[in-house]
Amino acid sequence: MNAAPFSLKTYLEGRKHIINASLERLIPTDRSPAARLFEAMRYSLMAGGKRLRPILTLAAFDATNKTGLPLERAMPFACAMECIHTYSLIHDDLPAMDNDDLRRGLPTCHKKFGEALAILAGDGLLTLAFEICSAFEEGHAAPAEVRLRAIHVIAQAAGMNGMVGGQTADMELEGTNISFQELDYIHDRKTGALLRASVLLGGILAEAGPRDMQALVDYGTRTGLAFQIRDDILDIEGDEKTMGKARGSDERKKKATWPAVHGMKQAKERMQELCELAIQDIQILGDQATPLKAIAEYIMKRDH
Amino acid sequence: MNAAPFSLKTYLEGRKHIINASLERLIPTDRSPAARLFEAMRYSLMAGGKRLRPILTLAAFDATNKTGLPLERAMPFACAMECIHTYSLIHDDLPAMDNDDLRRGLPTCHKKFGEALAILAGDGLLTLAFEICSAFEEGHAAPAEVRLRAIHVIAQAAGMNGMVGGQTADMELEGTNISFQELDYIHDRKTGALLRASVLLGGILAEAGPRDMQALVDYGTRTGLAFQIRDDILDIEGDEKTMGKARGSDERKKKATWPAVHGMKQAKERMQELCELAIQDIQILGDQATPLKAIAEYIMKRDH
């Protein structure tokens, strides 16, 4: 009897389900003088994201797990990536930043809870990421050295030389005549760093060897850039209803994007090439990497 | 020959000097598309704080270090506490929060760099704290289990159940008729959690036993509360020039404070009592705790 063919849709739904169940438990629901903070954090965290970053962590873990380690080992780190992703969206949406009213079809955090609480909710989610990763758990936790290394990868990807640096560069260079190198700098950090880190974490927690880790680094870098190019394309060609946000915001804000700098045709070709190379990168991981391969294909076709 | 008597002034100056030297190395100065972010982070981090939190970490480390462990072991964690303290000041000063123009006699981060960069600089400093604590260092680093535990203490103290929660409660209860319990909730978290954690970290990194750790917990809790009461008193009676900020901001913002809720006389008595109890808490640590004792005395007398 043959195994059923791999269905990405079923896979993504299943993963999203267990990730949401874990995220659901992170933020207290009890009455407390800080209850509004918990509410704001939960509102944005549970607003129905694709959960791509935690899914990548779990998929990379599965792809390099050679000794049957339990998936629970990777779960806190997967959840941490979603907390960091959500915090970055909350702060990016603020009036002083992108000043966006809608996110995933819902009012943004500051529209719903006010600016002060939105700032604090972002701060709380960023800190929560590190709280989860360093929590003492029974049974399934990875060795301390491994967890420390994973925490460092997250902090580097999220911080001044990663996402926060990329966000700054993006803002500082808005409306200027940007060079190819500057565009690469922004893309590599603004979204790329966090996506690459999500993939790396899986390998770190599975205690993958150097050859497998290198495959994940390459895959993570290429899919990260492809993801950003797809984002830029969707901002021009996407369907507003499916995306849950308005189109054309990059152009209005004079943001540097791949289609704007290199042209739409070039952007689409480059995105496709990156995804194909990413799939080649992980050939050496064999069948265990089937979900990772399917995710690379999904990234170039996604409509939101 | 007798040793020279302990001078707190000399001690604090010496510690401030080595802490500043370590902080100085944390943020890159090179040209990069994110250079303005580094500048904003450095501006606030090096704006001349008292460095009380890192000094407490180092003093608690010295007080419980029984086997001659190098101070370098505690230094990254001491610096991390200053990064977190600075980030919290930057975000608290924002227009959507306390809307303060001056901090330590200088323009606040958003006054100097704009709101967007101030938000990002705060985010960058918070993340940097965890980057430092998890970095791989040669030679002096504490065992991974110890560092993981220290990271968890920091994240808990800074996050939704600590500082960010306290800040939220403070804001949510502004202008209401606050209960004693609610005031304790705010004080215990808003400043207390971070000060207590600073003390705890020293013990964790010195691998102190349970009896010594309990002494540090009690000392940290009491000095933390005394520090906040002193802050509230200074906001009413302090010298604006010495403090580098305007007096009376709590009253203007209808903030719940110890003097407002319990009266000034009660507040001063309670502060003094807390500092005396804190000194008793660490008697068992002997002469190694001389700096910690002197810091408790300093907290109730400080003028800024």
pLDDT of residue B3: 66
* Rounded distance between C-alpha atoms, residue A219 and residue A215, angstroms: 6
User: Does the pLDDT at position A195 exceed 60?
Assistant: yes
Nearest CA distance, B5 vs chain A (angstrom):
42
- CB–CB of A33 and B168 under 8 A? yes
Residue A143: DSSP 8-state:
P
Q: What is the pLDDT of residues A74-85, one digit of tens each?
A: 999 999 999 999
Query: So what's the ipTM on this one?
Result: 0.95
> CB distance B160–A128 less than 8 Å?
yes
Task: Name chain B contacts of A154, Cβ cutoff 8 Å.
Answer: 130
Q: Is residue B57 predicted with pLDDT exceeding 90?
A: yes
Residue A103 phi/psi, 5-degree rounding, is -150, 125
Q: What is the DSSP letter of A173?
A: T
A46 CB-contact burial (10 Å; exposed 0-12 / middle 13-18 / buried 19+): middle
Are A75 and A144 in contact, with CB atoms under 8 Å apart? no
Q: Considering only alpha carbons, which residue of chain B is nearest residue A114?
A: B96
Position A140 scores a pLDDT of 83
Q: pTM of the entire structure?
A: 0.96
Lowest mean pLDDT among A3-7, A103-107, B270-274: A3-7
CATH classification of B8-301, choosing from 3.30.2290.10, 1.10.357.10, 1.10.600.10, 3.40.50.150?
1.10.600.10
CB–CB contact A124 B160 (8 Å): yes
- CB spacing of B127 vs A155 below 8 angstroms: yes
**Rounded Cα distance, B69 and A79, in Å:** 36
For residue A304, what pLDDT is reported? 77
Which chain B residues touch A135 with a CB distance below 8 Å? 152
* Rounded Cα distance, A147 and A142, in Å: 6
- Convert the pLDDT of each residue in A159-184 to its tens digit: 999 999 999 999 998 888 888 889 98
Is the pLDDT score of B1 beyond 60? no
Q: How confident is the model at residue A3 (pLDDT cuts 50, 70, 90)?
A: low
Q: Would you list the domain boundaries of chain B?
A: 8-301
User: Distance, in angstroms, between A15 CA and closest chain B CA?
Assistant: 27
By the 8 A CB rule, do B102 and B108 touch?
Answer: yes
Q: What is the DSSP letter of B29?
A: -
pLDDT digits (tens, 9 = 90+) for A274-290: 999 999 999 999 999 99
| Residue B52 confidence (pLDDT) | 96
